[in-house]
Amino acid sequence: MSGERYERVAFAVMFVAFAAAPFVIYPAFGMQLLCFALFACAFNLLIGFGGLLSFGHAMFFGMGSYLAAQASAVWGLPIEIAILTGAATALVLGVASGFIAIRRQGIYFAMITLALAQMVYFFCLRAPFTGGENGIQGVKRTKLVGLVDIGPDHPVAMYYFVFAIFILAFLLIHRIINSPFGQVLKAIRENEPRAISLGYRTERYKLAAFVMSATLAGLAGATKAAVTLNASLTDVYWTMSGEVVLMTLLGGMGTVFGPVVGAVVIISMQLYLAELGAWVTIIQGGIFVFCVLAFRRGIVGEIEAWLRRRKT
């Protein structure tokens, strides 16, 4: 199976599965899956195709969530404008933090992003508008563009709104990956000195990838605030950064559909194994170690490798 045909089939399967999901599972759970799948895809754009490991992506997810909640609950903006406000906030934060972090590589880059994320976490803990440990409650969902009711009494309509956001963002990421920009980004990931020798200003490409990843992560956080009708410290805490790393590694970093698979597996575990309490975290830690040591390409990466072996 050729790569292009494989992607078309995989996209069709994913589209049909998510489109039918609200008739099989709770719509609220399905919306959570979509939000975290988008978050993982945004993170994968940075690590899987840019080769940059960030331990602080929760700051974009969390600030997108907080500003979307603030825009809706306090400023009274329509939910679609509130979500765009959260994404725009993540964009600005991505530019500011990217200028600081992108000057370093490897573990130094990862530690700088973690430090910046912890600064954002303590800001959210102390800032008056965030509500501290209580978070921001009372996010309002009424009618989308004044026509479609997506309030709490219409979860299926809200699900398809979130589904539309996810599909549009996913297609945007796919276009970025397969554009000339994406090809240069892959070249930087594989061999940055050689890319520099070819005349590419790699820092600009990495900063652009960082900002795009941050913006899409903020979009995921803002959408999650619209789904759960609140924003909390959980969204910006360091464990959220760890979860998105796990989702991406499990599904397969550097693959298009891997983060979606990883997000579905991890979020499903958190729901269906909730009665195990702290054991869920231990199980996820074991999965993380297993992915790093033995399953480096992740679930989707292994499937792609198997298809290539069959072709040859």
Report if residue 301 sits inside a domain: no
DSSP state of 128: G
Q: Domain limits at 169?
A: 3-237
Tokens 């895809």 correspond to: 41
Q: What values do phi and psi take at 275, rounded to 5?
A: -70, -15
User: Where would I find the H helices in the chain?
Assistant: 3-20, 27-50, 58-73, 79-101, 106-126, 155-177, 180-190, 192-197, 202-228, 238-251, 258-272, 279-293, 298-311
Strands 143-144 and 136-137: unpaired
Report if residue 99 sits inside a domain: yes
Per-residue confidence of the chain (312 residues) as pLDDT tens digits? 566 787 888 899 999 999 999 999 999 999 999 999 999 999 999 999 998 999 999 999 999 999 999 999 999 899 999 999 999 999 999 999 999 998 888 889 999 999 999 999 999 999 888 988 889 998 988 788 778 888 888 899 999 999 999 999 999 999 999 999 999 999 999 888 999 998 899 999 999 999 999 999 999 999 999 999 999 999 999 889 989 998 998 888 888 898 999 999 889 887 766 655 666 666 666 766 666 555 556 767 766 676 666 666
Question: 143 - beta bridge partners?
Answer: 149
What size, in residues, is the chain? 312
Residue type, position 127, single letter: A
Report if residue 18 sits inside a domain: yes
Report if residue 276 sits inside a domain: no
pTM for this one?
0.91
Q: What values do phi and psi take at 176, rounded to 5?
A: -60, -45
**Per the structure, how many domains does the chain have?**
1
Report if residue 224 sits inside a domain: yes
Closest CA to 87 of 211, 200, 248: 211
Report if residue 292 sits inside a domain: no
The 10 Å CB-count burial string (b at 16+, else e) for 114-143 is bebbbebbeebeeeeebbeeebbeebbbee
SS3 285: helix
* Whole-Å CA distances, 100 to 113, 174, 210, 290: 9, 27, 11, 33
Report if residue 268 sits inside a domain: no
Instruction: Supply 133's token pair.
Output: 């440990």
Report if residue 290 sits inside a domain: no
Cα gap 123→105, rounded to integer Å: 26
